[in-house]
Chains A and B, each alone.
Chain A
Amino acid sequence: MTIKEIAESLEGEIVCSEKFTNRKVEKAFSSDLMSEVLTIDSENLILITGLVNVQTIRTCEMLDIQNIIIVRNKKATPEMLELAEENDIIIIQCPFSMFKASGILYQHGIKPIY
């Protein structure tokens, strides 16, 4: 799925790095715990999280994760947006719960990493 398709399916809004909306995503990982995210190793991944602080972006930067969905109708902070933009990381804000967002993407063929 492309970022644009993902945003549409989740009734979400792309709030930064909009120029990369054609980027393709194959897999997803859902977690609010960055300690756990730091143990995964995968390409073309999208992170689904409800954690809204700058460490979410830092964690993605270290792992070369370039796509994030923020669930539960939470909003990225200005610091997050600035850092994400610097690193070409896309953020989609979505009104759904983590379970619902994960389920919709799974139905559309996005794969788990394990």
Chain B
Amino acid sequence: MRFEYDIEAGNFSKAGDASSAFKKVLKQLNVDPQVIKRIVIALYEGEVNIVAHSYGGKIVCDIEPKKVSIVLKDTGPGIPNIEQAMQEGFSTATPAVREMGFGAGMGLCNMNRNANAMNITSSAEDGTRVELIINL
């Protein structure tokens, strides 16, 4: 089953709508609550990243029999140094993002912690693509 969500840049009042909607789907499918929590924490961190740092993007969630695959794709501006971005505490967040309670440089690390696999590719031309796999 595939679920797709468009994510608007900079709109913090809607940040989390996609994660909330996908959580409801997972609950309806009776997925283990601990696994749901891991999925939605990783997804929500990623959704907030698109809202906070990108020009906008899209989230595609695929539910398969043994895993959930999530692709978070934005349209730019890209992450210049992924290794640096993965370091806990490193952040390029604006004061507006920090006012919302984010921007501590913990998001990507937390996504990685909650996923069974995470893959990031990024360029200035194509934006950032984060793929998460969480086993069911």
A binds B: yes
A positions within 8 Å CB-CB of B: 32-39, 41, 51, 53-56, 58-59, 61-64, 79
A36 and B104 contact, CB distance less than 8 A: yes
B positions within 8 Å CB-CB of A: 12-13, 15-16, 19-20, 23, 33, 37, 40-41, 44-45, 48, 99-107, 110, 113
Which one of A33, A34, A41, A54 lies within 8 Å of B37 (CB-CB)? A41
How far apart sit A51 and B13, CA to CA, in the bound complex (Å)?
14
- Chain A CB count within 10 A is highest, among B13, B101, B105, for B101
Given contacts A35-B101, A36-B104, 7 further A-B contacts (CB under 8 A): A32-B101, A33-B104, A36-B106, A38-B106, A59-B44, A61-B16, A62-B23
With A36-B106, A38-B110, A58-B16 in contact, do A53 and B41 touch (Cβ < 8 Å)?
no
With A35-B102, A35-B103, A51-B101 in contact, do A64 and B16 touch (Cβ < 8 Å)?
no
List residues of chain B with CB within 8 A of the CB of A54: 12-13, 16
Q: How many A-B residue pairs have CB under 8 A?
A: 67
B85 to chain A, nearest CB (A): 14
Task: Classify the interface of chain A: helix, strand, loop or mixed.
Answer: helix
List residues of chain B with CB within 8 A of the CB of A37: 101
A35 and B13 contact, CB distance less than 8 A: no
Which one of B37, B100, B101, B113 lies within 8 Å of A62 (CB-CB)? B37
- Chain B CB count within 10 A is highest, among A41, A55, A59, A64, for A55
A34 and B102 contact, CB distance less than 8 A: yes
List residues of chain B with CB within 8 A of the CB of A39: 106, 110, 113
How far apart sit A38 and B104, CA to CA, in the bound complex (Å)?
11
B110 and A53 contact, CB distance less than 8 A: no
B20 and A58 contact, CB distance less than 8 A: yes
List residues of chain A with CB within 8 A of the CB of B113: 39
